[in-house]
Amino acid sequence: MDTSSQQQVFEFSDRFTAALNRGDPVEVRQFYQPDATFWHNYDDVHQTVADNMKVLEWMVRKAPHRNYRIVRRELIPGGWMQQHVVEARLANGKEMKLFACCVITLKDGLVWRIEEYLDPAQAAVLREVKTA
């Protein structure tokens, strides 16, 4: 892939990450193909966009102050791979760091598939947070 294509993919990635940091499901949904799928290593389940939006809404309630900090990002055929850390101050005041690696595949300029690798034990503190 040429440099301009890499720049386009990384600019898309930056906009996508900023939308995730804002936590607005309507905005985030605009980055996805309608038939996008989301897979996680810890449960081997394929989520739909609607399921993924429910997870985002849950995460925003539990961790209203969060930041997806990109540690490494590499262009791959059809998309990009990234390591990131979700750093959050939870609604109960506790801190959380969730280390993850994702493989993101694009189709027609939008996210078509995300494969996410993480340790769910690092997210266990989210279940402790009581929200309305």
Task: Note down pLDDT in tens along the chain; length 132 residues.
Answer: 455 588 999 999 999 999 999 999 999 999 999 999 999 999 999 999 999 999 999 889 888 889 999 999 999 999 999 999 999 988 788 888 999 999 999 999 999 999 999 987 776 666 665 665
Structural domains of the chain, with CATH: 3-128 (3.10.450.50)
CA-CA distance, 66 to 89, in Å (whole number)? 6
**The pLDDT of residue 1:** 45
Q: Quickly tell me which residue has 């760091």 as its tokens.
A: 97
0.85 surpassed by pTM: yes
**The pLDDT of residue 74:** 96
User: How many C-beta neighbours within 10 Å does residue 95 have?
Assistant: 11
Q: Which DSSP string corresponds to the chain?
A: --HHHHHHHHHHHHHHHHHHHHT-HHHHHTTEEEEEEEEETTT--EEPHHHHHHHHHHHHHH-SEEEEEEEEEEEETTEEEEEEEEEEE-TTS-EEEEEEEEEEEEETTEEEEEEEEE-GGGGHHHHH----
87: closest CA among 66, 70, 63? 66
Q: How many CA atoms lie within 13 A of 35 on its CB side?
A: 2
**The pLDDT of residue 92:** 82
**The pLDDT of residue 132:** 52
